[in-house]
Amino acid sequence: MKRTALVAAGLGVALALTACSNNNSDSSEAESSPTTSSMWTTPAAPSVDMSRFGSLPAIPTPTAPSVDCSYDTAGPAAKPVEPPNTSGVSDEGTVSVAFTTNEGPIGLTLNRAAAPCTVNSFVSLTEQGYFDDTPCHRLSAEPPLQILQCGDPSGTGTGGPGYAYANEYPTNLYSPTDPAAQQPLVYPRGTIAMANAGPNTNGSQFFLVYADSVLQPQYTVFGTISEEGLATIEKIAEAGDDGSMGANGGAPNTPVTIETASVG
């Protein structure tokens, strides 16, 4: 059975975002995930009144200068990579990451205070060349979900780094039984967040929000996109997607490759 990571939002039509493999494929974002999907709904109309939805909560101030992280084995990696360090992970300050793509530069600023274990993993993958020469395999170009998704070296939407880890901000601000954890909020333009296949199944796939989008607070937010990077993504989005995922978008009509990724 194919496992599917989901990015969806709002009120009306369930949207799925593939990010995990079937049992017979050679890569998986979430082999250890107890469920195969996590579904919610999105407004069907192309014009969405964002004022109907709340904002993400404030990022809490760290209570200690470092945390320990856990990265659990989750099937074969789509590209050879070592898991990141797990102890004494900083949760202070920011990290800059620069993508060069065939369509232009995309600069990122990663926020350790929001998601130290996510930033730790992302930096580790970047430094190991995991994102180099990899495609951005999915574009959703219609409200209320306007994102470019990347981070799967296989380009299939099923690949991961061979490990999985827990959700962080904003998910960790809610108890699992809190109804507010399932209420759509606005993920603002310029947000970087992780794709997943349900709680605590983060791997390497991430999405870049280039226009305000509506999502449940179940996707770890770990940084922001530069204005130059947003201009690159908006140019890609203008060409649209191939519709292969129906209401979820599809492959970008303009093929996008991350040629190099560097921490700097």
Q: What pLDDT shows up at residue 173? A: 98
- Peptide bond before 76: cis, by omega within 30 degrees of 0? no
User: What whole-number distance in Å separates Cα of residue 124 and Cα of residue 61?
Assistant: 24
Question: Which residue reads 């404030």 in tokens?
Answer: 58
Distance, CA of 41 to CA of 202 (rounded, Å): 21
Q: Which of 139, 114, 110, 104 is nearest to 122 (CA)?
A: 110
- Residue 2's pLDDT is 34
**Start-to-end CA span in the chain (Å):** 40
Residue 52 carries which DSSP code? G
What secondary structure does DSSP assign to the chain, as a single string?
A: -B-------SSEEE-------BTTSS--S-TT-S-S----EEE-SSS--GGGSEEPPPPPPPSSSEE----EE-S--SS--PPPP-SSEE-SSEEEEEEEETTEEEEEEEETTT-HHHHHHHHHHHHTTTTTTEE--EEEEETTEEEEEE--TTSSS----SEEB---TTGGGS-TT-GGGGS-EEE-TTEEEE--SSTT-B-S-EEEE-S-EEE-S-S-EEEEE-HHHHHHHHHHHHT-B--TTGGG-BSBSS--EEEEEEE-
How far is it, in rounded angstroms, from Cα 38 to Cα 238?
Answer: 29
* Global pTM value: 0.86
Q: Give pLDDT tens digits for 147-178.
A: 999 999 999 999 999 999 999 999 999 999 99
Q: How far apart are CA 139 and CA 149, in angstroms?
A: 6
Q: Which residues of the chain have pLDDT under 50?
A: 1-4, 6, 8-45
Cα–Cα distance for residue pair 169/171, rounded to 1 Å = 5
Altogether, the residues listed in the chain come to a count of 264
Q: Which residue ranges form the domains of the chain, and what is each CATH number?
A: 12-44+65-263 (2.40.100.10)
Do 30 and 74 meet the contact criterion of CB atoms below 8 Å apart?
yes
Task: Confirm if 189 and 216 have CB atoms less than 8 A apart.
Answer: no
220-260 per-position pLDDT tens digit: 999 999 999 999 999 999 999 999 999 899 999 999 999 99
What pLDDT is attached to residue 113? 98
Pairing of strands 134-135, 94-101: unpaired
